[in-house]
């Protein structure tokens, strides 16, 4: 129920519409219940099943007196209007009650439609925003396709299974209560007999509903695996084709899809059981009711017309009860999907935003007293790091200074920790030991947005979006003029190829920039970094995947970009870092050498071996 209460909490933004929908549902229930007693006196009086009431009671002191007075008024009306005319009025009254009932039923749906879809919009927005703010470490543990399934399939399941039946949850109880009230007034003993049968029905339905919720969670989990497998296959399509693994992947997907089908069939069997089971139990109850009530009619303790009205009232209970049980089934099914969404929403972000001077030490970090740091630049103080609390350290006691305006390069074999060091600077992760300072302040003392605004990142993979060239360069920045964008593109050696493309800066580059070459994509990311005008640059393997011509153009752009800026450069091609102010050689998370290109060559250590292997 906590999940359901959380979902209802989203209704706070739609109080007016919800109030109107509830009011319309109440009126629907009122006109549904009002139509029940209309039939009773006319079954008795119009068809002469009882003697007309010719005398009004002296006073109304009991329910019997009220019934006698009602019968007297109806008798006088029939005597004045005639039976046929009275019957005509009754039919008109019945039509009016059902017209108003269905009108308010439609209005309730009309007002709830924007509420349902608005809640789903809010839920999806909150989930998407929360995902964007979670640290990168979270996504190493979660499959991307599973997360995509939660923001699409699970959220939509919440709409179709829970929100789509809210009007039934608000409406049907009023109808049931009103009908039961009439039944109790007519015959308490007969109502008690029916109520016992309804409790038995509710217990049976509730037991199946619990299983339905568990099955729904399994179905949504399997659907997440299908989305994840599809996304993974589309991303690796080139490899699948080159290895001739189409049939292999198809078999794996077919097995997963068949498991989904099996679980979904079982779920639908249980869900679809609700309506026929409820109807059968209702009909069984009616049969017993007819048997039990007819004895009272034969015994003279109840009038035939009253018994017919009682059955009509009970019918008014059956249909809402069936709708309510079906809604309950759907709610149980939807709660399984909602819990999967909540599992993401409830993930706490360890990258805590705190005011300057009060940043907490990250989980696992050493809390010892900090040593005074020299002002200016970046400094690593005995930094260690592991990706998970149970995993091994990938960085060991890193002490490193990157002075303001200097270029420091990281070299070494793959897996040495170069990219990890780069990821620690904008706080994609926090150290699990030691700390890092920027201009003498711990990185954790900065507001996260302020800290990251000082960095410009050009990564090995050119990250672009399915949008125009202009929007990819401007990405996330405000108050930018077209002239500034063009100047940034010129610095990045990108302007010439952009103007040759039909549409120029307003041309769409496709998903991840697939309409452009690798060098063109990389130069757009450099233009984006130029436009950002950051204090500090992080260049992570920026030219490793390019051909010679593209590398030359990109390298020229990078040199202009790094002018008079602090830069951390990561490169496998050592020819690109020969002019760095300092080169740091890493091996298995430890610094084993440091110095300029010439100093490291003279030393004849690990760096020289790397250079000789690449024949620089």
Last residue of a domain, one of 322, 345, 368: 345
Q: What angle do the packed helices 83-133 and 304-345 form, to 10 degrees?
A: 10
Mean pLDDT check: name the lowest of 72-81, 206-215, 331-340, 460-469. Answer: 206-215
Model pLDDT, residue 374: 39
Q: Region 560-581: what's the mean pLDDT?
A: 80
pLDDT tens digits for range 477-520: 888 899 999 988 888 888 988 999 998 999 998 877 888 888 88
Number of other CB atoms surrounding residue 433 within 10 Å: 20
**Residue 506 forms part of a structural domain:** no
Instruction: Specify whether 186 is located in the same domain as 333.
Output: yes
Based on the domain organization, do 12 and 67 belong to the same domain? yes
Q: What is the mean pLDDT of residues 470-478?
A: 87
- Cβ–Cβ under 8 Å, residues 100 and 31: yes
Number of domains forming the structure of the chain: 2
Nearest to 371 by CA among 379, 360, 363: 379
Give yes or no: residues 104 and 241 share one domain: yes
Residue 370 has pLDDT above 60, yes or no: no
- Mean pLDDT value of segment 571-585: 82
**Residues 132-168: tens digit of each pLDDT:** 888 877 777 777 777 887 888 788 878 777 776 777 7
Q: Has residue 522 been placed in a domain? A: no
Q: 272 CB contacts (<8 Å, ≥6 apart)?
A: none
168 in a structural domain? yes
State yes or no: pLDDT of 41 exceeds 80.
no
The answer to whether 166 and 112 are in contact (CB under 8 A) is: yes
Range of the domain at 403: 359-448+567-572+579-616
299 and 426 in a single domain? The answer is no
Average pLDDT, the chain: 78
- Can you give the pLDDT at residue 289? 76
- 347 phi/psi in degrees, rounded to 5: -70, 125
The whole-number pLDDT of residue 381 equals 93
> Which residue has better confidence, 49 or 415?
415
- 109-113, 130-134, 291-295, 568-572, range with the lowest pLDDT: 291-295
Contacts of 96 (CB under 8 A, 6+ apart): none
pLDDT of residue 384 exceeding 70, the answer is: yes
Residue 423 has pLDDT above 60, yes or no: yes
Residue 205 scores a pLDDT above 80:
no
Locate 135 and state its tokens. Answer: 């640290």
Same domain, 315 and 383: no
More confident residue, 463 or 309: 463
pLDDT band, residue 47 (cuts 50/70/90):
low
pLDDT at 582 over 70: yes
**What's the average model confidence in pLDDT over 372-399?**
81
Q: What b-and-e string marks burial along 485-521, b requiring 16 or more CB atoms within 10 Å of the CB?
A: bbebbbbbbbbebbeeeeeebeeebeeebebbebbbb
The CA R_g of the chain, rounded to the nearest whole Å, is: 37
Q: Is the same domain home to 64 and 156?
A: yes
- Three-state SS across 197-225? HHHHHHHHHHHHHHHHHHHHHHHHHHHHH
**Domain-located, residue 114:** yes
Domain termination site, one of 315, 345, 375: 345
Q: State yes or no: pLDDT of 616 exceeds 50.
A: no
Looking at residue 395, what is its pLDDT? 93
Does pLDDT of 546 surpass 70? Answer: no
pLDDT bin (cut points 50, 70, 90) of residue 54 is low
CATH, residue 231: 1.20.1560.10
pLDDT of residue 11: 80
User: What is the per-residue pLDDT for 231?
Assistant: 72
pLDDT at 337 over 50: yes
Residues 86, 234 within the same domain:
yes
Any domain includes 492: no
Residues 425 and 340 in one domain: no
pLDDT > 70 fraction of the chain, expressed in percent and rounded:
78
Do 256 and 363 belong to one domain? no
Kindly report whether the global pTM for this prediction surpasses the value 0.85.
Answer: no
The reply to whether 340 and 368 lie within a common domain is: no
Q: Are residues 28 and 120 in the same domain?
A: yes
DSSP 168-192: HHHHHHHHHHHHHHHHHHH-HHHHH
- Domain assignment of residue 315, yes or no: yes
Of the pLDDT bands very low, low, confident and very high (cuts 50, 70, 90), residue 227 is confident
Residue at which a domain ends, from 345, 373, 408:
345
CA distance 540 to 41: 87
Shared domain check, 329 and 385 = no
The CATH number linked to 598 is 3.40.50.300
Q: DSSP letter at 59?
A: S
* Band of residue 434 on the pLDDT scale cut at 50, 70, 90: very high
Portion of the chain with pLDDT greater than 90, in percent: 9
Lowest mean pLDDT among 43-52, 141-150, 181-190: 43-52
| Residue 463 belongs to a domain | no
Assign 359 a pLDDT band (cuts: 50, 70, 90). Answer: very low
Residue 520 lies inside a defined structural domain of this protein: no
The single-letter DSSP state of residue 41 is: H
């Amino acid at each position: 129920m906590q999940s359901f209460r959380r979902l209802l909490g989203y209704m706070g933004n739609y109080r007016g519409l919800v109030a109107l929908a509830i009011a319309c549902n109440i009126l629907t229930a009122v006109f549904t219940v009002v139509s029940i007693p209309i039939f009773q006196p006319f079954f008795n009086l119009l068809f002469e099943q009882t003697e007309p009431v010719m005398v009004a009671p002296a006073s109304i002191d009991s329910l019997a007196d009220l019934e006698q007075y009602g019968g007297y008024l109806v008798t006088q009306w029939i005597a004045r209007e005639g039976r046929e005319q009275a019957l005509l009025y009754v039919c008109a009254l019945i039509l009016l009650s059902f017209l108003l009932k269905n009108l308010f039923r439609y209005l309730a749906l009309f007002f709830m439609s924007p509420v349902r879809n608005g809640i789903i919009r809010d839920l999806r927005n909150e989930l998407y925003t929360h995902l964007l703010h979670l640290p990168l470490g979270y996504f190493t543990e979660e499959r991307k396709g599973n997360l995509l399934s939660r923001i699409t399939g699970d959220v939509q399941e919440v709409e179709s299974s829970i929100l789509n039946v809210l009007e039934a949850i608000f409406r049907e109880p009023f109808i049931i209560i009103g009908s039961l009230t009439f039944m109790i007034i007519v015959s308490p003993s007969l109502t008690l007999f029916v109520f016992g049968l309804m409790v038995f029905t509710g217990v049976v339905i509730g037991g199946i509903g619990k299983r339905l919720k568990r099955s729904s969670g399994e179905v949504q989990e399997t659907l997440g695996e299908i989305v994840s497998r599809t996304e993974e296959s589309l991303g690796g399509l080139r490899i699948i084709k080159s290895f001739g693994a189409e049939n292999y992947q198809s078999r794996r997907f077919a097995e997963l899809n068949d498991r989904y089908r099996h679980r979904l069939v079982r779920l639908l069997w249980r869900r679809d059981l609700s309506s026929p089971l409820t109807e059968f139990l209702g009909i069984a109850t009616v049969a017993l009711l007819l048997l039990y009530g007819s004895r009272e009619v034969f015994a003279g303790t109840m009038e035939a017309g009253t018994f017919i009205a009682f059955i009509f009232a009970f019918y008014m209970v059956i249909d809402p009860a069936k709708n309510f049980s079906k809604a309950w089934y759907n709610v149980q099914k939807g709660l399984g999907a909602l819990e999967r969404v909540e599992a993401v929403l409830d993930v706490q972000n360890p990258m805590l935003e705190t005011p300057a001077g009060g940043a907490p030490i990250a989980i696992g970090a050493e809390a010892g007293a900090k040593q005074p740091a020299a002002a200016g630049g970046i400094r690593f103080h005995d930094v260690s790091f592991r990706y998970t609390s149970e995993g091994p350290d990938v960085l060991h006691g890193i002490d490193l200074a990157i002075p303001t305006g200097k270029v420091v390069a990281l070299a070494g074999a793959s897996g040495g920790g170069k990219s990890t060091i780069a990821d620690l600077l904008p706080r994609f992760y926090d150290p699990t030991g030691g700390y890092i300072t920027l201009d003498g302040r711990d990185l954790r003392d900065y507001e996260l947005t302020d800290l990251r605004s000082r960095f410009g990142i050009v990564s090995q993979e050119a990250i672009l979006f399915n949008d125009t060239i202009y929007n990819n360069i401007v990405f996330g920045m405000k108050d930018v003029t077209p002239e500034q964008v063009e100047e940034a593109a010129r610095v990045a050696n990108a302007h010439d190829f952009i103007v040759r493309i039909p549409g120029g800066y307003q041309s769409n580059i496709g998903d991840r920039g697939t309409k452009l070459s690798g060098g063109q994509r990389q130069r757009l990311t450099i233009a984006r970094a130029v436009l950002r005008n950051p204090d500090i640059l992080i260049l992570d393997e920026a030219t490793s995947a390019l051909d010679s011509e593209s590398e030359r153009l990109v390298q020229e752009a990078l040199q202009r970009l790094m002018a008079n800026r602090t830069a951390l450069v990561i490169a496998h091609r050592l020819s690109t870092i020969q002019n760095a102010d300092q080169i740091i050689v890493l091996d298995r998370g430890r610094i084993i050498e440091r110095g300029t290109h010439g100093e490291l060559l003279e030393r004849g250590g690990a760096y020289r071996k790397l250079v000789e292997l690449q024949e620089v």
